Structure 1
Amino acid sequence: MRFKRLATVAAACMASLCGALGMVATAHAEPPIKIGQSVVLSGPQAANGLLYSQGIKVHLDAINAAGGVGGRKIELITLDDGYDPARCKANTKQLLEQDKVIALFGYTGSPAIVACAPMAEAAKVPMISPVSGTPELQEHAGRYLFFTRASFRDELRAMIDYLTTTGITSYGVTLQDDSFGHSALKIVEELLAERKLPPPVSAPVAQQTYEAGASAAAISKAAPQAVILATGGKASVNFIRDYLKTGKRAQFLGLSVVSSNQLVQELGKDADGIIVTQVVPSPWARKTQIVRDFYRELGERKDVEISYFTLEGYIAARVLVEAVRRAGPDVTSERLVQAMESMRKLSLGGYEVNFGPGVRAGSSYVDLSMVRSDGRYVQ
């Protein structure tokens, strides 16, 4: 009986001790590293933002499942801005002032980034891997803005270099009536002038609704051999549909933000033959280590759609995590900036990023692909 009482007391003490240790462990659990994201997740421009976010999640989920970085999980606080710069500014204010994030990451859309990058600069918080190739942003990025994708100038130069070799001399440009669209049009005009070719005929799609009938009608009258789409999401789909209705035909070319997966899904056979510039390797060709890593971390997940944008999001997350690692255990916004600047010719296995003091455009990788109606991309 005495032995039983002793055993009971011992068990009670052990349970109490374990509980206390558990409370201590919980009390001393490392706080998460808070990162903020405002991204397009709704509305007619949502396709790219959704895919980009899926790719980001593949890597961050894998890192957190393995215990995080230095024992700290990365908490990505994601807010939808619907491609509205005003909403993006409100989201950014919340992320900086209420959520106290140490970095802004994975923003999408040139207008939103134009609106919010000065907020990051004022707060001295880095904005890492926004989806924009607008040269004005990349060339005047300031200290806190870091791009991991090529610029639209790089993409358009590759596009026009290719078309020149095929004998195309007349161009049209349909554009979103925003900073992205107008920047792309200006670049096309400059590149054509360099080659002593006539300026392109151009017309914007309607803001907000992205109705493209008027743009298609205006450009088809000039019957250019090639039409460059300075558009994304629904605007691209609408323009091609309306242009084909005019009975005219042209070689359509889209920038990497054209939402090529959406073109295939919504246009079917009419998407066949569209040329798209890409700023990351093919996510279907497992020839590079970065793509093999992506599939390894993806595993059996069914909630991720394979696309160039998904792989771009994955690469962006790899860059973010590498910066957090380099920043050390007491990671701060300033240490993240220094960590990003230390990434000189960092190879991720088939994709290289290169930053440094004053160097904020981390990649110039561009490839050309042709969309096929069955969803394949031919390099």
Structure 2
Amino acid sequence: MANTSSHTRRVRSPMFIDRRQLLGAGAALAAFGLPRLAHSQSGPIRIGQSAPLSGPVAGAFQGPLAGQKLALDTVNQRGGIGGRPVELVLLDDGYDTARMVENVKLLVERDKVVALTGLGSTAGVAAVLPYLAQTRMPLVGSWTGAHVLRLRPHPSFFTSQASFKDEVEHSLRTLATIHMDTVGVAYQDNAFGELMMPVVETAAKELGVNLVARAPLAVDGSNAADAAKALAAAKPKAVLMIAVGPSVAGFVRAARTSLNVPVYTLSVAASSVAPLGAEARGLAMTQIVPSPWRKVDAMAREFNELAEAAKVPVDYSSYGGYLGAQFLLEALRRAGPRITPDGIIQAIQGIRNWSLGGNILNFGPDRHHGSAWAEITIVDSNGRFRR
């Protein structure tokens, strides 16, 4: 994968760190004394990110990273923030929780970043949130929408997009409205899927949707055919799929053969539509990013121009990464001229009625998650999303 910015360094975790120490890192963070962190007010504004550049779901992050790169490269070409370039320090965690914990500590303590952005796994974010609270290190945007991470107020965790809970409720409400209220669930057989199933069950009960069957789905999609057959035996009117990465394509293909009912899924599965080609036709997907093709918004127009010039595909994944970076950049602008972690936190808390690509965000001292907006799109035979 190409570098994420002209001011980006990609660093891998040191291989000499004892793995048992890493596995205990999340629980141990709260027990250790934390260093006093100093942040330079000259030179680049350094931002940290840990993401799966390798591993089973790396492909799902290529689009968001490409869109993020467009935004950061563009602001740097225009002189940066207050005359300072924005430097992204990006570390690969391979979608491994222990590696993310270690990466975040390196970014904060060694690289002296002023903020983190775009952390990429539910379990990983859960593991680092206590450390971020103690260090007062802002996490400005995350690529996991797990509702469980937002249940308790956190002093430095901010999001600009709806949660997975918001998406699940929107999908199930839509199914109930059109009387397709007998539903099977295919859920990813990992921390993501396990955390989401109670959310699905609670929402279904509240909305009067009958969950007739549940089937675990391997992360690599290797049991997709068996999962589809297990759900088919319960005769659902529709299926809700909670998955990301290669399991999405595997299950969609298996569902066309075994189920022949509508499949609804979450926005996190958007990167699987292009590889599926015509086989994605009819897939219903919630979106928590405004349409990148709706060029009435200035951000959408600029994104399309930049994407065309850089030969980046225009889709929800890349536009989501672009908007996520715009949220970060707005926080940095408002935190100036002296940009510190506390200044960024205060700046985001002061955002009111700000449009992020047409999605209106509102924050406050007790409101750190700025949006619950979602809509349903349907994939057509050409792989395009229809609203």
TM-score by length of 2: 0.85
Alpha-carbon distance change, 95 to 208 in structure 1, aligned in 2, over 3 angstroms: farther
Cα deviations across residues 44-90 of structure 1 (Å, max 9, x unaligned)? 31233111111111111111011111111100011122221112112
- Aligned residue runs from structure 1 range 182-193, under 5 A: 182-193=194-205
Structure index of larger Rg:
1
Q: Which moved more, 1:237-246 or 1:71-80?
A: 237-246
Opposite residue 338 of structure 2, the aligned amino acid is D
Q: Which residue of 1 aligns with 2:74?
A: 62
Equivalent of 1:323, from 301, 321, 331? 331
Q: Which residue of 2 aligns with 1:24?
A: none
SS at match of 2:239: strand
Alpha-carbon distance change, 290 to 133 in structure 1, aligned in 2, over 3 angstroms: same
1:136 aligns with 2:148: yes
Cα deviations across residues 100-144 of structure 1 (Å, max 9, x unaligned)? 111110112212211222222222100110012211112224101
SS at match of 1:352: strand
Q: Give the conservation status (yes or no) of the 8 Å contact 1:134–1:151.
A: yes
Q: Give the conservation status (yes or no) of the 8 Å contact 2:282–2:380.
A: yes
Distance 1:227 1:80 in 2: 33
Equivalent of 2:274, from 258, 264, 268? 264
Opposite residue 313 of structure 1, the aligned amino acid is G
Q: Which moved more, 1:91-100 or 1:341-350?
A: 341-350
Q: Which residue of 2 aligns with 1:376?
A: 384
SS at match of 2:310: coil
Distance 1:305 1:197 in 2: 37
Cα deviations across residues 277-311 of structure 1 (Å, max 9, x unaligned)? 00011112212222113224445112x22211211
SS at match of 2:295: coil
SS at match of 1:285: coil
Q: Give the conservation status (yes or no) of the 8 Å contact 1:226–1:253.
A: yes
1:353 aligns with 2:361: yes
Q: Give the conservation status (yes or no) of the 8 Å contact 2:44–2:84.
A: yes
Distance 1:217 1:193 in 2: 25
Please, what is the CA RMSD of the aligned residues?
A: 2.0
Distance 1:187 1:207 in 2: 20
- Aligned residue runs from structure 1 range 287-306, under 5 A: 287-298=296-307, 300-302=309-311, 304-306=312-314
1:249 aligns with 2:260: yes
SS at match of 2:155: coil
- Aligned residue runs from structure 1 range 150-299, under 5 A: 150-207=162-219, 211-246=223-258, 248-258=259-269, 260-265=270-275, 267-298=276-307
Equivalent of 2:62, from 38, 50, 53? 50
SS at match of 2:132: helix
Give unpaired runs (5+ residues) of structure 1: 1-28
SS at match of 2:318: helix
Q: Give the conservation status (yes or no) of the 8 Å contact 2:284–2:377.
A: yes
Alpha-carbon distance change, 50 to 188 in structure 1, aligned in 2, over 3 angstroms: same
How far 1:347 sits from its partner (Å)? 2.0
Q: Give the conservation status (yes or no) of the 8 Å contact 1:290–1:351.
A: no
Q: Give the conservation status (yes or no) of the 8 Å contact 2:307–2:313.
A: no
Distance 2:383 2:225 in 1: 26
Opposite residue 135 of structure 1, the aligned amino acid is H
Q: Which residue of 2 aligns with 1:22?
A: none
Give unpaired runs (5+ residues) of structure 2: 1-40
Q: Which residue of 1 aligns with 2:320?
A: 312
Alpha-carbon distance change, 291 to 135 in structure 1, aligned in 2, over 3 angstroms: same
Opposite residue 353 of structure 1, the aligned amino acid is L
Q: Which moved more, 1:151-160 or 1:113-122?
A: 113-122
Q: Give the conservation status (yes or no) of the 8 Å contact 1:30–1:71.
A: no
Distance 2:243 2:107 in 1: 29
Q: Which residue of 1 aligns with 2:31?
A: none
Q: Give the conservation status (yes or no) of the 8 Å contact 1:323–1:336.
A: yes
Cα deviations across residues 288-346 of structure 1 (Å, max 9, x unaligned)? 222113224445112x2221121111111111111111111221111111111111221
Distance 2:184 2:354 in 1: 38
Q: Which residue of 1 aligns with 2:9?
A: none
Q: Give the conservation status (yes or no) of the 8 Å contact 2:307–2:314.
A: no
Q: Which moved more, 1:233-242 or 1:289-298?
A: 289-298
Opposite residue 366 of structure 1, the aligned amino acid is A
Cα deviations across residues 136-166 of structure 1 (Å, max 9, x unaligned)? 1122241010011101121112111211222
Distance 2:75 2:205 in 1: 48
Opposite residue 273 of structure 2, the aligned amino acid is L
Equivalent of 1:127, from 133, 139, 146? 139
Alpha-carbon distance change, 306 to 41 in structure 1, aligned in 2, over 3 angstroms: farther
Distance 2:326 2:240 in 1: 31
Opposite residue 281 of structure 2, the aligned amino acid is D
Q: Give the conservation status (yes or no) of the 8 Å contact 2:349–2:365.
A: yes
Distance 1:209 1:156 in 2: 21
Opposite residue 262 of structure 1, the aligned amino acid is S
Opposite residue 301 of structure 2, the aligned amino acid is R
